[in-house]
Amino acid sequence: MNRHRRSAKNILYSRRQVMKSLIFLIMFMSGLVNAQIPKTLSYQGVLTDASGTAVTDGSYSLTFKLYESATSGPLVWEETQSVTVANGIFSVILGSSTTLNLLFNKQYWLGIAVDGGSELQPRIQLTSAAYSLNAQSVADSAVTGAAIASGSVVRSINSLTEDVNLVAGDNVTVVNDGNSVVISTTGLGLTFPFSVTVNEPDRPFNIVNIGLGGVAAFQTLNENTLFPVLDITQRGIGVAGVFSITKSDNFKPALEATTKGQGPVILVEHKGSAGNLAEFETLSERKVTISRDGDIIAAGDLEIGGKIIFGDNTEQTTAASSNGAGWLLRGNTGIDTSNFIGTLDYLPFEIKVNDARGFRLEPAGSGTFFSPNLIGGFAGNEVTNNAIGATIGGGGLNTNSHQISADFGAIGGGTKNLVSARFGTVSGGSSNTTSGEFAVIGGGEGNRAVATFVGSADFGAIGGGKQNLVSGRFGTVSGGSSNTSSGQFAAVGGGESNQASVDHATVAGGKSNRAENFFTTVSGGELNTAFKSHGTIAGGKSNSTEAGFATVSGGQKNLASASHATIGGGELNTASEIHTTVSGGKNNAASYFYDTVGGGRDNVAKSSESGAATVGGGERNQAIGDYATVSGGLNNIARGTESTVSGGDFNTASRNYSTVGGGRNNIAANQGATVPGGRGNHARGSHSFAAGYHARAIHNGSFVWNDRSVTSGNDSLVSTANNQFLIRAAGGVGIGTNSPGFPLEMGSGAHVTTGGVWTNASSRAYKEKITNLSTEEALSAFQNLNPVKYNYKNETDEQYVGFIAEDVPELVATKDRKSLSPMDIVAIMTKVVQQQQAVISKLQERMVELENRE
């Protein structure tokens, strides 16, 4: 399973863009507290299956490994995390469980495995973001000479092995003295051989080397005839003293100071012919330092009171504290609450960049009992209406500035966002507005959490998206476009143009869906509407629920218009009475209590009194009677109570308990009548049975089975009386056999001949233990037979002659003595007659003999 895609980088990039302003604020605050660099990495990705579909939401075990190679080893770091995946997207912090003890001074590749499976290919090459961890090695600004490559900079002149060239320029003349140039680092003077020139009007301030000649000049470079100057003086009260650089015996210029007026000062005095001030300026990227006895003056040892005059004659008050300690740009140590950047009065404090305001702190009241307003980003961002505790992290543009007009409001970034109620928050995005207390907008564009009456939008939340609206208390829109949550606790998950307009209504997503009553739910789809309370639509298009607790699971243009009615899906289906159900299909209707249509097309379940009619499926079937059932087929009707048509086409079960199993054009038209199948069969008598082809059981209790042997004329077999059992089977009726050779044949071999004679089975193949019947046994049984006359009790008008089973001799009696076998009587009579015939034959012979004697 391919659960990783490189598109995760795009996702991560877009999220970074969204949070850009917030990250700026967080980084700014982190710098103030000097937080350590975390040894972790953020990583996001997408898990999909082999077809590119996002995996099921849930928790997955992901193993992350770092290698020094794209295809082999070595493995330098590994950890496994349980990661929550939603819509395929996951986000992790690498290093959460196993510390990232790597320097990130070389290339690394990331490998990922899912749920203990093989590692996904290819490995992912880490980009520059991870290697920023290498910056921790200089976190204390301790860059030493050893950290700089040899030959890159000049660290020491004494140890140089390469040539040092000092090239003359406009402002200095270089004269070599032998093979050495010495720059002293001690004393108050400067030893250097300079060339000597006279002061010139266009160079108003010169340092003159009186000894060896040559001039090194500090001068203004502006060609303005007013000669811009560098002024180091105290202007105002008193007269400044003067310092000058003069030659000493060892060629080190000395610094002299005099005092004039009310205090000692140092005055750099112009000695030229024009102007009265001088300018110090560096001509390269090197810095100017102020030192004492060779050491740079530390913080606290230098105090600049008064004002600094810039080249454009603007003034800036210095940042010296009352105890003389300054605030160093490279960091400070040993500070306390008396050392700070800020104000001591009820005035705002600003930080600028490129001469434009980048951050502003506004006091919110006297003393420390009130939270100040923090305003970052565009200079036009503002906090109005005397609000306190407000925060604007950044963002804003000309004509698209942020505004907060209520206490403790917050805007993270973006442009043109507005917070006008207490504790409201807009994290980012553009043109977002919240006027509900404690309301939150995560981002996006044109989103509004606004009150239509006092307090209506309080605690509302919009995650993002575009043009979304929350106007109900505790309402939520997670994202999407043009969605509306206007009821209390109403929620829209996303999508487009969805509405959750009453309390506790929910639309999860989709487009143009509406949840318009209490506790209604539309999970997705398009143009679905849940009108009544507790109604539910899972998805699909143009579906509706118009009664409480009604449900439409999906499909298109389905309507569940009665309480607790249910439609599973399909198209144009209707469940219009309490507890009715249409599972699916098209244009099906369940229209009375508890009626059900499983599916199919144009089917109707419409009972009348008790309800619970069922159509399983098929097309144009109707279950009209209470508890009636049509399982399927085409154009079948179950009209009677508890009637059933199992399938087939054009079948009808029209009376109570009637049944048609299937087939075509069959009718069960009386109570309990049954047609199991076939074609054109009618069971019209009560509890009648008609099967086969054109069988007509039209009398009560009649059973008619008709074959297809008659192919012309009147081919029907029709009952003529109640309780008949009629069979037309041209191929014979078999009982105990599947291949009858006679109109009726038993499995024992007995049968009725075509001529209508009953014939017992008598084959030797059916018999065993065969012995001859003795004359004595036959004569004894014969002599004990008692022929009688009688009629059967259920047939009083017919007289019979025969024997009583209980009275016959044992030889011809059956086991239960309830019946007789005629062939048994015939057998003993045959034996007796045979014996009698033998006697007769002997007597005849005797008579002939006697006659011959005469």
pLDDT digits (tens, 9 = 90+) for 672-715: 999 999 999 999 999 999 999 999 999 999 999 999 988 887 88
Q: Which region among 215-224, 386-395, 769-778, 801-810 has the lowest average model confidence (pLDDT)?
A: 215-224
The pLDDT, as a whole number, for residue 48 is 86
**What span, in angstroms and rounded, lies between the C-alpha atoms of 485 and 493?**
10
Q: Which region among 315-324, 537-546, 717-726 has the lowest average model confidence (pLDDT)?
A: 315-324
Q: Which region among 129-138, 420-429, 543-552 has the lowest average model confidence (pLDDT)?
A: 129-138
Mean pLDDT score, 312-334: 57
| One domain for residues 119 and 66 | yes
Tell whether the model's pLDDT for residue 177 goes beyond 80. no
| One domain for residues 34 and 120 | yes
Considering the domain boundaries, does residue 787 fall inside one? yes
Considering the domain boundaries, does residue 400 fall inside one? no
Considering the domain boundaries, does residue 94 fall inside one? yes
Mean pLDDT score, 364-374: 78
Which position has the higher pLDDT, 103 or 258?
Answer: 103
Considering the domain boundaries, does residue 58 fall inside one? yes
Using only the alpha carbons of the chain, give its radius of gyration.
Answer: 57
Domain count, the chain: 4
Can you tell me whether residue 464 is helix, strand or coil? coil
Pairing of strands 559-560, 574-575: parallel
The pLDDT, as a whole number, for residue 87 is 86
Tell whether the model's pLDDT for residue 322 goes beyond 90. no
| One domain for residues 127 and 243 | no
Can you tell me whether residue 88 is helix, strand or coil? coil
Give kind and range of the element (H or E) at residue 790: strand 788-792
| One domain for residues 13 and 116 | yes
- Please say which residue of 313, 346, 371 terminates a domain: 313
Considering the domain boundaries, does residue 81 fall inside one? yes
| One domain for residues 756 and 780 | no
Confidence tier at 468 by pLDDT (50, 70, 90) = very high
Considering the domain boundaries, does residue 473 fall inside one? no
| One domain for residues 229 and 201 | yes
| One domain for residues 820 and 738 | no
227 DSSP β-pair partners:
none
Residue 238: closest CA among 289, 305, 167, 145: 305
Q: Which domain holds residue 93?
A: 8-133
Q: Which region among 120-124, 261-265, 475-479, 764-768 has the lowest average model confidence (pLDDT)?
A: 261-265
| One domain for residues 841 and 812 | yes
The pLDDT, as a whole number, for residue 292 is 55
Q: Which region among 239-253, 337-351, 624-638, 724-738 has the lowest average model confidence (pLDDT)?
A: 239-253
The pLDDT, as a whole number, for residue 607 is 92
Which position has the higher pLDDT, 622 or 47?
Answer: 622
**What span, in angstroms and rounded, lies between the C-alpha atoms of 819 and 140?**
122
727 DSSP β-pair partners:
705
Confidence tier at 347 by pLDDT (50, 70, 90) = confident
Considering the domain boundaries, does residue 283 fall inside one? yes
**How high does pLDDT run on average in the chain?**
79
DSSP string, 572-602: S-EE-STT-EE-SSBS-EE-STT-EE-SSBS
599 DSSP β-pair partners:
none
**What span, in angstroms and rounded, lies between the C-alpha atoms of 786 and 639?**
61
The pLDDT, as a whole number, for residue 257 is 39
CATH assignment of the domain containing 40: 2.60.40
**What span, in angstroms and rounded, lies between the C-alpha atoms of 832 and 775?**
7
| One domain for residues 19 and 97 | yes
| One domain for residues 217 and 106 | no
Give kind and range of the element (H or E) at residue 130: helix 128-131
| One domain for residues 89 and 13 | yes
| One domain for residues 102 and 213 | no
SS3 assignment for 393-414: CCCCECCECCEECCCCCEECCC
Q: Which region among 171-180, 205-214, 444-453, 778-787 has the lowest average model confidence (pLDDT)?
A: 205-214
Which position has the higher pLDDT, 297 or 97?
Answer: 97
Residues 6+ apart with CB under 8 A from 477: 447, 461, 462, 463, 465, 468, 469, 470, 483, 484, 485, 491, 492, 494
Considering the domain boundaries, does residue 845 fall inside one? yes
**Would you tell me the crossing angle of helices 8-18 and 20-33 to the nearest 10 degrees?**
70
